[in-house]
Copies of this chain bind each other. A is one copy, B any other.
Amino acid sequence: MQHIEPSVEKRLAAEGIRLTGGRRQTIATLAAMGGPRTAAEIHSETGDSIPLSSLYRSLAVLTDAGILASHHGSDGVIRFELAEWFTGHHHHLVCVECGAVFDVIPTADQERRMARLVEEMAAGTGFAAAGHRFEIEGLCSKCR
C-alpha cells in the first residue's frame, strides 16, 4: 500500500479530493483482497467501520478519479478493484454459479491479439472503440 499511496494522493489532490482515513482504508482493503469486491464485502472486511453509505460515496469518488474500476457482475451487484494502472491490464474469470470474479493477466502477445480483434470488429460500425472487456465464464474451483 505504502508504495501506491503517494501517487493516489497526488492524483486526488489534483482534483481537490481528500485522501481521508476511510478512503485510505477502503483502498488498502481492496488491495489486500486482491480482486473485484462488492461494497458489502469491503464493508464487512473492515469490520463495519465504514457505514455503507459513506463507503458507496467513497467508492464512487475513487472510481471517478480513476483510482478504482467498477464492474457490474452477472448477479447485478457492483464490484470494485484497483484501477489497471496499479494492477496492470487484466481480464476476468467469472463464476456463473456464485458470481465470484478472479483476475487473469494476459501475456503481451495475448493482449496484442485481443487488441487486433477489437480493432477488426469495431471497424465500420460507426462506433468509437475505447477499450474492451473480456470475460471467461465458467465454474470456479469451489463451485464445480
Contact = CB atoms under 8 A, between A and B. Distances in A.
**How many A residues are at the interface, by size bracket?**
35 or more
Task: Determine which residue in A72, A125, A131, A136 has the highest number of CB atoms from chain B within 10 A of its CB, and name it.
Answer: A136
A121 B104 contact: yes
Contact of A121 (B74, B106, B127): B106
A63 to B, nearest CB: 12
A136 B122 contact: yes
Contacts of A95: 127
Interface stretch (A16-24, A32-40, A43-51, A109-117): A109-117
Interface string A125-138: 11111111111111
Contacts of A11: none
A61 interface: no
A88 B98 CA distance: 27
B126 A133 contact: no
A14 B62 CA distance: 50
Nearest to A120: B110
Contacts of A129: 93, 136-138
A98 to B, nearest CB: 12
